[in-house]
A = this chain, B = another copy of it.
């Protein structure tokens, strides 16, 4: 592949941004197509407080990547745009790029395509057992990130929660919803549990899980959460959040009184 060829990157989420930077640094032209106006994907859109496992502010990680692709002459950005079709030629692809706002069409000739579509949070109201969307004290991973950004963890009534439960694997590894595991919800939840303890050192935190999948660099975070922050881990599946008397039942008949229940909905 010669250096005057172009590579198409679909999606300006963190993976797409990093790929675009790396390719440009190798000296190739990058065509970066993002369907939204803004770059950065879900962590920027949902205003994540910090990123796991290193507790680095989101802006500090993604800001320089966004600046790089915006300012590097080798990266051509099509925002508010999608690739709606392509033709494969002998040794390149001819891709059609549609601007979703003004409906203008552009064509690019690229020799390789990287798909970095990013992710959406699972809509936990699809699994009604947990009361998400019904009980205002049941919140998602993204809503907790906003609380962490504000430095305030509060119940819907403004009171400070004493006991906080994390339910992992919501909508995950479940034939009724998604059959797969998102791979990152364990680590992000543990990071969030530690951050809550930094704000509310006396809060009791329970992480209710199927399997803890903190492989590689995340493992240290898991140990730290138990040894330094005394996060409690309970293996089981929450059968139902009854919403009555603020009681939550595990299948194993362990009773937990929770003030604020945080779901893992990535």
What CA separation (Å) do A15 and B179 show in the bound complex? 29
A173 touches B213 (CB 8 A): no
The chain B residue with its CB closest to the CB of A222 is B173
A215 touches B183 (CB 8 A): yes
Q: Which residues from chain B contact A180 at a C-beta distance below 8 Å?
A: 216, 219
A226 within 8 A of B: no
A181 touches B219 (CB 8 A): yes
A200 within 8 A of B: no
The chain B residue with its CB closest to the CB of A220 is B179
A211 within 8 A of B: yes
Q: Which residues from chain B contact A181 at a C-beta distance below 8 Å?
A: 215, 219
For A, the interface residue count at a CB cutoff of 8 angstroms equals 15
A212 within 8 A of B: yes
Interface of A is mostly: loop
What CA separation (Å) do A215 and B179 show in the bound complex? 11
What CA separation (Å) do A181 and B214 show in the bound complex? 9
A219 touches B183 (CB 8 A): no
What's the nearest-Cβ distance from chain B to residue A1, in Å?
8
A152 within 8 A of B: no
A183 touches B216 (CB 8 A): yes
The chain B residue with its CB closest to the CB of A1 is B26
What's the nearest-Cβ distance from chain B to residue A69, in Å?
22
What CA separation (Å) do A173 and B212 show in the bound complex? 12
A235 within 8 A of B: yes
- A181-232 contacts to B (CB < 8 Å): 181, 183, 211-213, 215-216, 219, 223
What CA separation (Å) do A179 and B214 show in the bound complex? 12
What CA separation (Å) do A181 and B179 show in the bound complex? 24
What's the nearest-Cβ distance from chain B to residue A226, in Å?
12
What's the nearest-Cβ distance from chain B to residue A184, in Å?
10
B219 touches A173 (CB 8 A): yes
A212 touches B215 (CB 8 A): no
Instruction: Please pick, from B1, B26, B179, B213, the residue contacting A211 in the complex, using a CB distance under 8 A.
Output: B213
Q: Which of A180, A212, A213 has the most CB of B within 10 A?
A: A213
What's the nearest-Cβ distance from chain B to residue A52, in Å?
16
What CA separation (Å) do A179 and B173 show in the bound complex? 27
The chain B residue with its CB closest to the CB of A179 is B219
Q: Which residues from chain B contact A212 at a C-beta distance below 8 Å?
A: 211
Q: Which residues from chain B contact A26 at a C-beta distance below 8 Å?
A: 1
Cross-chain pairs A/B with CB under 8 angstroms, 5 sampled: A180-B216, A180-B219, A181-B215, A213-B213, A235-B235
